[in-house]
Amino acid sequence: MWMEVAVVAAIFAVGNILFGHWEAETPKWRRLLKFLGILGLTLGLSATLGRRWAFLFLGMLGLLAVVVHGWWLPWRHGINGLTGEPKEKYYALRGWKYPASANRPPLLISVMVAVPDAPAAVAWYKRALGAVELWNLGSVVGLEVAGAPFFVGQPEQNGWESPGRLGITTTRIEVFCDDPDAFIARAVAAGANGAVDRIRNHEMPWGPHRQGGFLDPFGHMWLVGDRSPLSPHPGTGSR
């Protein structure tokens, strides 16, 4: 029986090292109960039916884990079977409360785009980008797209102006998301000019970076790409 105990203990030890984050909010007593339950079943099968059946039972549990992490989580729920990302989805699936401050950065840089007609701009950004209104002061409105905040405002001779009045844009808005093709397609369908920078794969030192852009009806340039530039890539500095 000591072999069965050693095998079960080793499985749980390795599993805790590699996949302990899957049980981050599970009480310790439930983890211990799970270990004791599987150990008890393994020892019971070994004592009554033989060691082969005990190891077959453990193999079936391993196969179930492969199905859950390799198919059920990623294909049915959009959750990475190794990392558990995005955490919000996994916590919701488990019925856990996701801490509000868990993914809050210590600093956030956003943009306010100058538009000649704030209500019209808000209506377009809602339709084209799926923007959600946070607050509305009439000429200045707070919006967010998939949790990323940005703002629109009507210049009132206070040191800034819209691209339409200036005849040129001096800033481009960079968006990083999981599906840049869909983001751009939705904006173009709502009337944005998608011919300024067709989406394509750009060869970067760290590999391909998919990015394209569009010009919105208010003269602002949007560049939309995947998330690869948001991660550190050592060795890509100038020499």
Structure confidence at residue 126 (pLDDT): 95
Same domain, 173 and 128: yes
Contact 197, 223 (CB under 8 A): yes
Can you say how many angstroms the Cα of residue 70 is from the centroid of all Cα atoms in its chain?
A: 18
Same domain, 81 and 117: no
In sequence order, the β-bridge partners of residue 224 are 175, 212
Can you say how many angstroms the Cα of residue 137 is from the centroid of all Cα atoms in its chain?
A: 31
Structure confidence at residue 102 (pLDDT): 57
Same domain, 151 and 205: yes
- Domain with 55 in it: 2-94
Structure confidence at residue 90 (pLDDT): 85
Say which amino acid occupies 238.
Answer: S
Among 94, 128, 156, give the residue marking a domain's end.
Answer: 94
Burial of 147 (0-12, 13-18, 19+ CB in 10 A): exposed
Structure confidence at residue 239 (pLDDT): 41
104 to each of 84, 99, 100, 108, 194, how far by Cα in Å? 18, 10, 7, 9, 32
Burial 45-59 (b: 16+ CB within 10 A, else e): bbeeeeeeebbebbe
Same domain, 72 and 116: no
In sequence order, the β-bridge partners of residue 203 are 208
Same domain, 73 and 140: no
Structure confidence at residue 172 (pLDDT): 84
| Strand 207-215 versus strand 221-225 pairing type | antiparallel
**Under-50 pLDDT residues of the chain:** 238-239
Same domain, 190 and 142: yes
Structure confidence at residue 103 (pLDDT): 58
Among 94, 121, 144, give the residue marking a domain's end.
Answer: 94
Total count of domains within the chain: 2
Structure tokens of 197? Answer: 């920078």
| Strand 132-136 versus strand 140-145 pairing type | antiparallel
Burial of 193 (0-12, 13-18, 19+ CB in 10 A): middle
Map residue 182 onto helix, strand or coil: helix
Contact 220, 169 (CB under 8 A): yes
**Quick one: DSSP state of residue 20?**
G
Decide if 102 is inside a domain: no
Structure confidence at residue 97 (pLDDT): 80
45-80 pLDDT, tens digit per residue, is 888 988 899 899 999 998 999 999 899 988 888 888
Decide if 103 is inside a domain: no
Same domain, 148 and 42: no
> What CATH number does residue 126 fall under?
3.10.180.10
Same domain, 38 and 117: no
Decide if 203 is inside a domain: yes
Contact 154, 115 (CB under 8 A): yes
